[in-house]
Amino acid sequence: MSFRSIETAEVAGRRVLVRVDLNVPMQDGAVSDDTRLRAVVPTIQLLAGRGARVILLAHFDRPKGKRVASMSLAPIAPALAAVLGQPVGFADDCVGPQAQAAVAALADGDVLLLENTRFHAGEETDDPALAAGMAALGDIYVNDAFSAAHRAHASTHGIARLLPAYAGLSMARELTWLEKALGKPQRPVLAVVGGAKVSTKIDLLRNLVGKVDVLAVGGGMANTFLAARGLAVGKSLCEHDLLATAREIEAEASAKGCELLLPVDVVVATAFAAHAPHRVCPAGEVKADEMILDAGPRAVGELAARMEAAHTIVWNGPLGAFELEPFDTATVEAARTAAGLAASGRVIAVAGGGDTVAALNHAGAADRFTFVSTAGGAFLEWMEGKELPGVAALEASAG
């Protein structure tokens, strides 16, 4: 994976366009979670500290190419200034006269936020004219928004073809750890994939069986694989129309030397509710009126043993109905095992996508993983082996 880090660029006195992810949750007109704001601070501080004129490009929500007052980035500027510790200016457009005037007024070390790129229909179609209009505002382009890198948009892809392009600190860290997790990993590699449905992760599973040594499948997805083996799953969440697909994936895993690990025992209940009466039984001994809500203790023990033997762990998705106690047990225990191994330096443990961050936070394990991506869709597409346009543009620029 070849890309240029912004740490290597001469930026003093130069206009640096930085694509960031400021798509933060809002409540009553105020930012309710500043995680994504804090994530962009290191890159902004590096650039401003070196005398760059920092110009931020970002989207917010889905205005579909029109100006929507409730989707303006204007309220984000003061919130970003608060976590950044310096003023953040705001321009009412991301191209054109207003943006040009705001950029022209910048002094070295200043920070300016431009209005929502998605107010222009050309953003999501990667329109060359829009990309050129944005590129005209800067001398250098930096992408620090891995979470938007799976979209070929004007501000993530088109503009990177028009200016010297670099990865921001957050982007570089993401790409470095993802490369260590699946690109050139230390083996054996264990992938843990959970969640509700096989249908949402077919590409991911098919990619992983060719890259990892052990693929542990949990959550509702595991029920489909158990049913494909002819085991009874009662009224569990199960995609019976995908049994043939599950068998194909298991055959692919076997052909490629990847062990497919499914729960050997499960926790079942007759109601989907917290603290519902439940029991542990071997996989396949689920009664007709029961549903599988978690992996059982033997299954957790088997997974822990595979973790102990691994050098790299890649995690996506919970292993059960983790939002309902006590059906969070498998997710919590397995996450804590992986976190302990990572914290001791025995494995590289990388996680991300979907409910993964929430599950690891619930387990109190996220801060001990080697790296946890908050990128969602981009992380999943990377796990599926797909090219991410925003990353590919950086690689082309480096080449």
Catalytically annotated residue among 235, 377, 385, 386? 377
Residue 59 corresponds to which tokens in the numbers above?
């989207």
Q: Is 210 a catalytic residue?
A: no
Catalytic (active site) residue 220: no
How many CB atoms are located within 10 Å of the residue 371 CB? 17
- Cα 262 to Cα 90, 380, 392: the distances in Å are 52, 21, 35
Q: Give the Cα separation of 214 and 80 in Å (integer).
A: 42
Residue 352 to residue 377: CA distance in whole angstroms: 9
> Is residue 213 a contact partner of residue 260, using CB atoms and an 8 Å limit?
no
Question: Do 347 and 315 contact (CB within 8 A), yes or no?
Answer: no
Q: Are 116 and 72 in contact (CB under 8 A)?
A: yes
* Residue 386 designated active-site: no
Task: Sort 270 into a burial class: Cβ within 10 Å, 0-12 / 13-18 / 19+.
Answer: middle
Q: Based on the residue annotation, tell me whether 195 is a catalytic residue of this protein.
A: no
User: Which tokens sit at 381?
Assistant: 């597409």
Of the candidates 365, 308, 370, the one whose C-alpha atom is nearest the C-alpha of residue 331 is 365
Report CA-CA distances (Å) from 52 to 9, 98, 115, 360: 11, 20, 20, 37
Q: In what order do the strands lie in the sheet with 291-295?
A: 278-282, 265-269, 291-295
Write down the catalytic residue from 36, 50, 173, 368: 36
Distance CA 307, CA 156 (A): 36
Please state, in angstroms and rounded to a whole number, the distance separating the CA atoms of residues 105 and 110.
Answer: 9
DSSP H helical segments within the chain, as ranges? 35-49, 76-84, 96-104, 128-135, 169-178, 202-208, 219-228, 243-255, 297-309, 329-343, 356-362, 377-383, 389-398
Burial of 244 (0-12, 13-18, 19+ CB in 10 A): exposed
**Helical spans, DSSP H, in 24-152:** 35-49, 76-84, 96-104, 128-135
Please, are residues 164 and 397 in contact by the beta-carbon 8 Å criterion? yes
- Residues 133, 296, 353, 354: which is the catalytic one? 354
- Give the separation between CA 3 and CA 143, rounded to whole angstroms: 11
Q: Which of 197, 306, 336, 386 is catalytic?
A: 197
Residues belonging to the active site = 36, 197, 354, 377
